[in-house]
């Protein structure tokens, strides 16, 4: 199957500058292509995955993907999708984020070539920039692009106004040095991508075969934006979003969304996804499609061992056998539950429930204990006189408290 047909089936194409031209090009030869990423933070989130997974699909089809880390553009700020100016980062912040994102991307996308646009942008003097590149951009054309026009009422600085020129320079440089012929980006990047095409055609001639392709904004079946949780973004950094939390995010997707997500975020083929779609219809309670989605994406981002840990934590929490977890696994499993610090001394069970903010009064704590509603580290305790020694489990760092069937609390030992 032609890679363009593959992307179309997966719902990964929003706009193309020349569909037939690109289709013919990728049929004729292996091409080089790229997607950029600005270092606005020190970790990617799942919103970054789709463009780069799309590049990987090209790579699996024999093409050559590049990632451009925006050491230069990230210091300026992309106005796309923003209602106001971005806070300017210091160069120390930018460089820290460049290093962190580069290491993260190299770990996940092992077969990509990675470059930093600071390397070719920094040597250009202001006069050379204005004479060699600024002269090729028409201000009226730039004002007509949605990324700029949407900001005119609120105001846009000259700094962010020039972002489009810098991103276009990336495409021109990669075309000249590495024969990169396709830029891939999110749907909000269309104006920046087409500006790059225009620059190449002005600088290199109208016969230059270069193309742009954007990926649609991913929405859930109810029309809301995909990728956010109550706690914020779902990060690819295991310190920000643990592999267990990451796994659970995918496992908890709605039946209405799961097949669409399998198409976009996994490398399963059409037959495999069709089989899972049938299981969603015939046995939705088994959640096989969701489990497969969680397994595939967690393994891709975090690796086989992290997936095994996430699955183990899931199984242990379902069974209630908390003692089967390691100390590190407890930290993953309960990172989002209510937690309180308590002293390392032995403590009465009633006092523990008060100290950990499980119950508001000793009377309620006694009732919960006597009614069998309290489990400490997986063990049901029914005696109000029970004493708990924090040193007895999880390296003396945690006490896991469960009230009822699902409400967990974590006592952090000082």
Q: What are the tens digits of pLDDT across the range 260-313?
A: 999 999 999 999 999 999 999 999 999 999 999 999 999 999 999 999 999 999
233 shares a domain with 174:
no
82 classed as catalytic = yes
144 shares a domain with 32:
yes
- Among the listed residues 82, 202, 291, 312, the single catalytic one is 82
- Among the listed residues 23, 86, 96, 201, the single catalytic one is 86
- Among the listed residues 15, 18, 23, 45, the single catalytic one is 45
Does some domain include residue 328? no
Q: Give the confidence band of 228 by pLDDT, cuts at 50, 70, 90.
A: low
* Residue-wise pLDDT tens digits, 59-92: 999 999 999 999 999 998 887 767 777 788 899 9
As a whole-number percent, the residues of the chain with pLDDT over 70 amount to 99
CB count within 10 Å of CB 407 equals: 12
Domain's final residue, options 155, 182, 215? 215
The CATH number linked to 256 is 1.10.240.10
Q: Are 16 and 22 in contact (CB under 8 A)?
A: yes
Torsion on CA atoms 246, 250, 254, 258, rounded to nearest 10: 160
- Residues 66 and 52: their CA atoms lie apart, in Å, by 9
Domain's final residue, options 192, 215, 238? 215
Provide the whole-model pTM.
Answer: 0.88
167 classed as catalytic = yes
Average pLDDT over residues 40-58: 94
205 shares a domain with 111:
yes
φ, ψ (nearest 5 deg) of residue 255: -55, -30
240 classed as catalytic = no
- Among the listed residues 106, 135, 228, 256, the single catalytic one is 228
363 classed as catalytic = no
- Among the listed residues 18, 173, 178, 188, the single catalytic one is 188
190 shares a domain with 54:
yes
Does some domain include residue 179? yes
Does some domain include residue 66? yes
195 shares a domain with 157:
yes
Does some domain include residue 401? yes
350 shares a domain with 303:
no
162 shares a domain with 69:
yes
Q: Is the model more confident about 231 or about 309?
A: 309
φ, ψ (nearest 5 deg) of residue 202: -75, -40
The boundaries of the domain holding residue 60 are 3-215
As a whole-number percent, the residues of the chain with pLDDT over 90 amount to 78
Does some domain include residue 63? yes
- Among the listed residues 48, 287, 299, 403, the single catalytic one is 48
Residue positions forming the annotated binding site for ATP: 228
308 shares a domain with 244:
yes
351 shares a domain with 313:
no
- Residues 178 and 299: their CA atoms lie apart, in Å, by 31
388 shares a domain with 358:
yes
Residue positions forming the annotated binding site: 34, 163, 167, 228
- Among the listed residues 107, 119, 229, 392, the single catalytic one is 229
The CATH number linked to 111 is 3.40.50.620
48 classed as catalytic = yes
220 classed as catalytic = no
163 shares a domain with 71:
yes
Number of domains in the chain: 3
201 classed as catalytic = no
Residue positions forming the annotated binding site for L-tyrosine: 34, 163, 167
Cβ neighbors of 60 (< 8 A, separation 6 or more) are 267
Which contiguous run of DSSP H or E holds residue 120?
Answer: helix 118-121
What does the pLDDT read at residue 293? 98
């Amino acid at each position: 199957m032609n890679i363009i047909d593959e992307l179309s089936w997966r719902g990964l194409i929003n706009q193309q500058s020349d569909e037939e031209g690109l289709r013919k090009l990728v049929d004729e030869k292996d091409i080089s292509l790229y997607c950029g990423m600005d270092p606005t933070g020190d970790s990617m989130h799942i919103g970054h995955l789709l463009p780069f997974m799309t590049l990987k699909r090209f790579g699996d089809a024999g093409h050559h993907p590049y990632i451009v880390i925006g050491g230069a553009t990230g210091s300026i700020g992309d106005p796309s999708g923003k209602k106001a100016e971005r806070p300017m980062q210091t160069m120390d912040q930018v460089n820290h984020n460049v290093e962190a994102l580069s290491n993260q991307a190299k770990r996940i996308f092992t077969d990509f070539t990675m470059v930093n646009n600071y390397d070719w942008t920094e040597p250009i003097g202001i006069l050379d920039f204005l004479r060699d590149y600024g002269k090729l951009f028409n201000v009226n054309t730039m004002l007509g692009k949605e990324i700029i026009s949407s900001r005119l009422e609120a105001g846009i600085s000259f700094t962010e106004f020039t972002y489009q020129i810098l991103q276009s320079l990336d495409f021109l440089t990669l075309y000249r040095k590495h024969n990169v012929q396709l830029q891939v980006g999110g749907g909000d990047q269309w104006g920046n991508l087409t500006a790059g095409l225009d620059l190449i055609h002005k600088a290199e001639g109208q016969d230059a075969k270069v193309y742009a392709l954007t990926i649609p904004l991913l929405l859930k079946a109810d029309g809301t934006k995909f990728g956010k949780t109550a706690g914020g973004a779902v990060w690819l950094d295991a310190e920000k979003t643990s592999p267990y939390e990451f796994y659970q995010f995918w496992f908890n997707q709605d039946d209405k969304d799961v097949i669409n997500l399998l198409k976009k975020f996994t490398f399963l083929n059409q037959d495999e996804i069709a089989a899972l779609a049938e299981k969603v219809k015939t046995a939705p309670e088994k959640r096989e499609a969701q489990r497969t989605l969680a397994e595939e994406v967690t393994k891709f981002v975090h690796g086989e061992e992290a997936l095994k840990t996430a699955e183990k934590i899931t199984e242990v929490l379902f069974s209630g056998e908390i003692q089967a977890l390691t100390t590190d696994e407890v930290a993953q499993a309960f990172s989002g539950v209510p937690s309180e610090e308590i002293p390392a001394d032995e403590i009465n069970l009633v006092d523990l429930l008060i100290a950990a903010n499980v119950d508001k009064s000793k009377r309620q704590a006694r009732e919960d204990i006597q009614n069998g509603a309290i489990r400490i580290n997986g063990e049901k305790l029914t005696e109000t006189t029970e004493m708990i020694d924090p040193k007895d489990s999880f390296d003396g760092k945690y006490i896991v408290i469960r009230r009822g069937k699902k409400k967990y609390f974590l006592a952090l030992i000082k």
